[in-house]
Structure 1
Amino acid sequence: MSPEGKTGKTRRTAPGRGAGLGHNAADEGYLDGQLLIAMPVMSDPRFERSVIYMCAHSSEGAMGIIVNRPAGSIDFPGLLVQLDIIQKADQIKLPENAEMMKVMKGGPVDTGRGFVLHSSDFYIQDATLNIDDDISLTATVDILKAIARGAGPKHAILALGYAGWGPGQLETEIQHNGWLHCDSDPDLIFGADVDEKYYRALRKIGIDPGMLSNEAGHA
């Protein structure tokens, strides 16, 4: 689905659909299904203080969704109108889940595309990617229609764009202390307090943000 009707020009290589899945991530050192947390010294403004849920990670590359960077003035009911899923007058009739759904800047790649990160109680055949027991990813307009009529997942966020890494790129960035990582946390990912997600993620692995430096090791 393309909420903005165009493809973003900024691109980093990402693996194909489902890359990094079908293996035991912990055993092989892959991070799909985990949270990637930017070190406080992260110099790239696109990822400063970002928390990324990793959707795929393998020898072919990695792909994730930033879950703590709001998409500014863009709101979910407005996107539904823009995509002709509902009429403007029907915005007041949306179920509460749709009214309150967060829209995030998912990353610098394909910023014109929408990706719904959601709880695993919703599935569309040949469209939904089950990442772990709790979280799935769907990138078709059908999930937006389901949410609009109250038949979608219990928890969800809509991300515009995604973060992508080529083969070995993410591993190199971690080795250079660009990222920390920890187990995923659905409450953190879908939580309403977006501004606190970064600090919650650090505290989840027992780290005081004020004590970190670029010399610290990764988790």
Structure 2
Amino acid sequence: MSAMTEVSSLTGRLLVATPRLADPNFERSVVLLLDHDAQGSLGVVLNRPTPVGVGDVLQPWAALAGAPQVVFQGGPVSLDSALGLAVVPGESRGGEATEVLGWRRVHGAIGLVDLEAPPELLAAELGSLRIFAGYSGWGPGQLEKELAEGAWYVVESEPGDISSPAPEGLWRSVLRRQRSALAMVATYPDDPSLN
């Protein structure tokens, strides 16, 4: 496998913070990688809801946002910008992809929404929508270094990950569904010193 193939293969996968990752921006986080290549990586944290309602910042999109209808903190970079992620039902199987105006596939049924487009253009196509303030970014080789240090588990994503109705429990649920010893990490205590 070439280095380029290896690097680009992580787009659409989840980074799940290991218990040893103590960076407050990423502790117990689940990050969906939207882009990963030799130039670096970009993703959004899926399990950091904020108290800000989607209607408070992007009123036209509020009706399409899934529960909870709040903005999520996608990461520490560019917190004043917004990204929309949505699932388009029927798009996960591969095959001939339907063109959906205002939506660009990232992986399977998951894609980025053009928040400048009129929401009514996409309303009939979107299965679920999440709005993220900011994103998570890594420079060239930075994520690979963190992976080598054991900061992240890399696992497959599922379309329901971006629209989990209980995002605070996503870290445990993603780990629990793994078919390996990794599932046991889901039982790791929030505060190991209390053990």
TM range (shorter): 0.7 to 0.9
Aligned with residue 52 of structure 1, among 31, 48, 72: 31
Q: Which residue of 2 aligns with 1:200?
A: 173
Distance 1:99 1:105 in 2: 15
Aligned with residue 107 of structure 1, among 75, 89, 97: 75
Q: Which residue of 2 aligns with 1:11?
A: none
Map 1:99-178 → 2, pairs under 5 A = 100=67, 101-120=69-88, 123-124=100-101, 128-142=103-117, 145-146=119-120, 150-151=123-124, 153-178=126-151
- SS of match in other structure, 1:74: strand
How many pairs does the alignment contain? 173
**Distance apart, 1:76 and its partner CA:** 1.1
Note if 1:67 corresponds to 2:69. Answer: no
- TM-score, scaled to structure 1: 0.69
- SS of match in other structure, 2:57: helix
**Distance apart, 1:26 and its partner CA:** 11
CA separation of 1:59/1:165 partners in 2, compared to 1, >3 Å: closer, same or farther? Answer: same
Contact map agreement 2:65 2:128 (CA 8 A) in 1: no
Question: In the alignment, residue 114 of structure 1 is paired with which amino acid?
Answer: A
**Distance apart, 1:103 and its partner CA:** 1.7
Q: Which residue of 2 aligns with 1:79?
A: 57
CA displacement, residues 1-58 of structure 1 (integer Å, 9 cap, x when unaligned): xxxxxxxxxxxxxxxxxxxxxxxx9952431010110111111100111001110000
Contact map agreement 1:77 1:98 (CA 8 A) in 2: no
**Distance apart, 1:65 and its partner CA:** 0.8
Distance 1:119 1:189 in 2: 8
CA separation of 1:118/1:98 partners in 2, compared to 1, >3 Å: closer, same or farther? Answer: closer
CA separation of 1:99/1:47 partners in 2, compared to 1, >3 Å: closer, same or farther? Answer: closer
CA separation of 1:169/1:104 partners in 2, compared to 1, >3 Å: closer, same or farther? Answer: same
Map 1:5-24 → 2, pairs under 5 A = none
CA displacement, residues 145-180 of structure 1 (integer Å, 9 cap, x when unaligned): 338x94461111100000000000000000000000
CA separation of 1:176/1:76 partners in 2, compared to 1, >3 Å: closer, same or farther? Answer: same
Distance 1:139 1:108 in 2: 21
Q: Percent identity?
A: 28
Question: In the alignment, residue 77 of structure 2 is paired with which amino acid?
Answer: V
Distance 2:163 2:28 in 1: 17
Contact map agreement 1:53 1:64 (CA 8 A) in 2: yes
- SS of match in other structure, 1:170: helix
CA separation of 1:98/1:60 partners in 2, compared to 1, >3 Å: closer, same or farther? Answer: closer
Distance 1:183 1:204 in 2: 10
Consecutive unaligned residues of structure 2, counting only runs of 5 or more, are 90-98, 190-195
- TM-score, scaled to structure 2: 0.77
Report the RMSD for the aligned CA atoms in angstroms: 2.8
